[in-house]
Amino acid sequence: MKTTFSICFCLLLLTAIPAYGDIARPQPSPQTPRIVLHTSLTIVPDNKAYEARLQISQSSLQELRAALNDTNGNSIAGGIMRNSTRTMIAGVFMFLSLSFAGVWLARSMQTRGQKIVASLLLGTAVLGAATIIVQANAGPPSSFYWKKLSQNLSHGASTSGGIDIEIVADPTDGRGMKLIMPTRPD
Amino acid sequence: MERAAQLNPAAWPSEDSIPIVGRGRSTRLFASTLIACACLSALLAGWLPLQVSVITVFLFAGPHNWFELRYFLMRLPVRFGKSRNFFLVAFAGLGLLTLSYISLPVLNSFNLLPDRLWPYLLASWNTLMLLWIAALVWLRGKNKRARNWSAVYPIIFALCSLNWLAPEFFSLGIVYLHPLVALWFFDRHLARTRPGWLRIYRRCLCLLPILLLLMLWQLGQTAALPDDNGLFWRITQQSGAQLLPNVSSRLLVGTHVFLEMLHYGVWLVALPLIAPLANDQASKQPVPRAIWKVRSVPVARHPRGFPKLITTALALGAFVVFLLWLGFSTDYATTRDIYFTVAIAHVLAEAPFLLRML
């Protein structure tokens, strides 16, 4: 019995070693556009200029560099900045966590100092809830600000709004950059 | 009634059953074996991470699941009694969460969902899992009122929050933390069966962060592992090489393999050999029982037990282990992918049984 078992074990070991080097690596999926940074853009009409100019602030450039350094666009900070829905859900859970922690502290600890800590935790939870409500009511989407772009351009006035910087696959027509403006009706 | 149907802790081997002269020697032997195994695992995992990963998963992945199944069956009471709701929620959650987890790669392979929805899906699954654990803690707390479990809820909600901020990193955290749960099981088991070894075991656990720091120091600046073929690419991806591009993939794979080897060591060697669960009722002495003997499982041995059901479950488990070896031999990469997807069931199953031991 022991001999049979030993032989079976040796056979198993031998079959574990075969080379798997020839298995092809999976084909990468076609590159899809990915947003690397959300920032603001101001379009200023200038009747004295002969060439369109793109001005980037030093801090924005650094942010863009940091976003591009993350080759997969998966940095935690980037992910949080890009996704307000997930951040809000995370906030709700953090609020629940702090509330439960406060209640637990208040119920399980009796000294004055511990009660102060519990009160502070509950206070932080209330502040967190207030922040979630404020964030949820943060303001209209960017398309609202860009709505008046054509009107402002004709009057020579500037227009500001949010913008997503998106990295896309090289276009076939040789264009370098493209600015897509939202033109949603009221 | 329920307690009577459960294992009798008095029948388990106690420190008193070991002669005083032999205690120091056995503790030293136990500690030196632990340290030697941990150091050897770290050395192998750091030296040849990909090769060791292939071999350990091939050899030990299936058998360790069989041993876990057997261990859980040994911990199962014959009648659920007051714990009925606990076990109902545990098994229902286990089934639903496993099925939904397996359906994720199926959805992905058929391109049924756009890429931008994946983080939401992943975060939702992780949240459901955490809430399931919270429900189990609540039900366990109802049965064991002497202990205050309410501190767990803020931790679980905080984990939910972190999960929604970075669901992919949270899932990667599960990959790295799950092997450590086995060490917790072993700790609880020693506390019941070999309390004299518990202190030295906990001291040995201090070696773990030291070994991990040594691995970080040695492998942190090394070149990335070659992932130019499908299998090696899968192994590096599983260890988080895509999520952490600035960390050496050799360090990631090495660390993961090291933790997995500890995990396999606990389930395959430490728990079945060092701390036997069942003893002879009459002599109160540990009796070596063959692992394949169904009568060694209390649920099968008990007059009101289910010997046929337990026999079928263990035989089916052994058959799946054999199938897994066959699959690894014919198409290692695909079988590995399937295994690590389905293996979520054993990750989840550890939660209720660990809670029962706390």
Computed over every residue of chain A, the mean pLDDT equals: 70
Inspect the interface and report whether the beta carbons of A86 and B119 lie closer than 8 Å: yes
Q: Is A109 on the interface with B (CB under 8 A)?
A: no
Region B174-188 average pLDDT: 88
How many CB atoms within 10 Å of residue A59?
Answer: 9
Mutate to test the interface with A, among B138, B157, B163, B246 (most CBs of A within 10 A): B157
* Residue showing tokens 């392979």: B109
Give me the residues of A, 42-81, that contact B with CB < 8 A. Answer: 70-72, 74, 76, 79-80
| C-beta atoms surrounding A124 within 10 Å | 16
Which of A45-49, A126-130, B221-225 bottoms out in mean pLDDT, i.e. has the lowest?
A: A126-130
**B181 in contact with chain A, both atoms CB, cutoff 8 A:** no
Determine the longest span between alpha carbons in chain A, in angstroms: 95
Q: Nearest CA to CA, how far is B308 from chain A (Å)? A: 26
Q: At what angle do helices B230-238 and B332-342 cross, to 10 degrees?
A: 20
Query: Does residue B5 carry a pLDDT above 60?
Result: no
B221 vs B216, residue with greater confidence: B216
Give the β-pairing of A159-167 and A34-43.
antiparallel
User: Is B161 within 8 Å of A32 when comparing Cβ atoms?
Assistant: no
The answer to whether A135 touches A114, Cβ cutoff 8 Å, is no
Give the HSE-up count for residue B275: Cα atoms under 13 Å, Cβ half-sphere.
Answer: 25
User: Which residue has better confidence, A28 or B59?
Assistant: B59
Q: Check if A134 contacts B (Cβ < 8 Å).
A: no
| Beta-carbon separation of B165 and A20 below 8 A | no
How do the residues of chain B divide into helix, strand and coil, expressed in percent and rounded to 5? 80, 0, 20
Long-range contacts of A131-138 (CB under 8 A, 24+ apart): A131/A91, A132/A88, A132/A91, A132/A92, A132/A95, A135/A84, A135/A87, A135/A88, A135/A91, A136/A88
Query: What are the residue ranges of helices labelled H in A25-168?
Result: 58-69, 76-82, 84-108, 112-136, 142-146, 149-154
What is the Cα Rg of chain A in Å? 28
pLDDT value at residue B340: 85
Answer whether A101's CB lies under 8 Å from B165's CB.
no
**Which residues of chain B have a CB within 8 Å of the CB of A12?**
58-59, 325
Q: Which of B162, B245, B333 sits opposite A20 (nearest CB)?
A: B333
Q: How far apart are CA A142 and CA A42, in angstroms?
A: 12
- Residue of chain B nearest A35, judged by CA positions: B116
Which residues in chain B are contacts of A104 at CB distance < 8 A? 150-151, 153-154
Q: Nearest Cβ partner of B150 from A21, A26, A104?
A: A104
pLDDT level of residue B112 (50, 70, 90 thresholds): confident
Q: Residue B199 class from Cβ within 10 Å (0-12 exposed, 13-18 middle, 19+ buried)?
A: exposed
**How far apart, in whole angstroms, are the C-alpha atoms of residue B260 and residue B176?**
9
Question: Is the predicted ipTM greater than 0.90, yes or no?
Answer: no
* Amino acid making up residue B148: N
Check: pTM over 0.80? Answer yes or no.
no
Q: How far apart are CA A85 and CA B261, in angstroms?
A: 39
Residues A106 and A118 sit within 8 Å (Cβ to Cβ): yes
Encode pLDDT of A38-83 as tens digits.
777 888 888 777 778 888 877 777 777 777 765 454 555 555 555 6
Give start and end residues of each alpha helix (H) in B76-144: 84-109, 118-143
| Distance, CA of B307 to CA of B316 (rounded, Å) | 14
In B, minimum Cα distance to A96 occurs at B157
Is the Cβ–Cβ distance between B11 and B281 less than 8 Å?
A: yes
pLDDT reading at B18 higher than 70: no
A4 contact B CB<8A: no
A167 - beta bridge partners? A34
Maximum Cα–Cα distance across chain B:
67
Q: How confident is the model at residue A124 (pLDDT cuts 50, 70, 90)?
A: confident
Phi, psi at B330, each rounded to 5°? -90, -45
**Tokens linked to A108:** 């399980």
Q: Give the per-residue pLDDT at A28.
A: 53
- Domain segments of chain B: what residues? 2-357
Average pLDDT over every residue of B322-332: 87
Contacting residues for A47 by C-beta, under 8 A, at least 6 apart: A156
